[in-house]
Amino acid sequence: MGKVLAIANQKGGVGKTTTSVNLAASLTVTKKNILLIDLDPQGNATTGSGVDKATLQSSVYDLLSQGEKIENVLLRPEAGYDLLPANGDLVASEVELMSGEDRELRLRNIIEGVRHNYDFIVVDCPPSLNMLTINALVAADGVVIPMQCEYYALEGLSALMDTISAIRDRLNPTLKIEGILRTMYDPRSKLTSEVNGQLFNYFGDAVYRTVVPRNIRLAEAPSYGKPVIKYDKQSRGAIAYLALAGELLRRHDEAAAAVSS
C-alpha cells in the first residue's frame, strides 16, 4: 500500500510545490512508483511537471466535484511519475466541498482506490488551511512541512500544528509529522541559526538533516516544465532533493523494520 504524503504549510512561498514536484521526481529516479496530486488551484505542480493546465480535458476538480473516474484524469508526464493535474477550476471545489456530503473524505476515498498501485503518493497542498488542505490531511499518512528559517515561518508552523492536531483528533488519528524540511537555506544567516536551534529543540528527529539551498537552477526548472533533476541533475538543488528522497526512504524502511520486529 502506497504511503500518502501531504506537502503542507499555509504560508506561501516556502517551497511546497518545488518540494512536491522534485521529491516526486527524485523518488521516481529511485525506481519507486509515484503519484503526484496537484491540489492547488494555481496548478503550479501541473505546469512544473510539463503539463499545460490551460488545455486540460479533466482535472482534480472533476474527481472531487463531478465524480469523474480517476483513469480519465491521470496523466504520465515526461518526469516519469503519474500526475493528477489541477487548474483554476479547482477553486470551485473549495466552495462546493463546504456543503457536500463526506466533504473531508473525498480525496481519501479517491486515493484508496489506487494507492496499491504506488509506493508513494505526494499531495501538493494550497497555501491556506481550506477544505482542500483538510482533504489532503485526512487522506495522508504523514505531513512533510517545507519552511524557511525565518521568524514568520515559525508563526505559520504553529498554526499548522494546531490544524494537524485537530485533524488527528477528529478525522485521521494516525496522521503524523513525516518531517520538516528547511528550504531556501542560508547557513550564513544568524536568524537561520536561531530558527534552526528552535526547530531541533521542539521537533528533534522530525527535522530532516537534508536542507535545500537557494539555487538558481532550482528556480529556473519550472519555467521549462521540468523537475530540477531533469533540467540540471548536477545542480545543488537536484542533489538536495535526491538526498531528501534517500533520507525519506531510509526513515520509511527503519519504521517498517521496527514494526515487523
Q: What is the pLDDT along the chain (261 residues), one digit of tens a residue?
A: 799 999 999 888 889 999 999 999 999 999 999 999 999 999 999 999 999 999 999 999 999 999 899 999 999 999 999 999 999 999 998 888 877 778 899 999 999 999 999 999 999 999 888 899 999 999 999 999 999 888 777 777 888 899 999 999 999 999 999 999 999 988 888 888 888 888 998 889 999 999 999 999 999 999 999 999 999 999 999 999 999 999 999 999 888 888 877
Q: What is the pTM of this model?
A: 0.95
Distance CA 142, CA 171 (A): 14
Distance CA 131, CA 113 (A): 21
Q: C-alpha angle with apex 56: 132 to 69, nearest 5 degrees?
A: 65
Ranges assigned E (strand) in the chain: 3-7, 34-38, 82-84, 120-124, 142-147, 176-185, 207-213
- Whole-number pLDDT of residue 220: 97
Pick from 105, 84, 103, 96: which is nearest to 40 by CA? 84
The domain made up of 3-260 is a member of CATH 3.40.50.300:
yes
- Whole-number pLDDT of residue 128: 84
Distance CA 208, CA 210 (A): 5
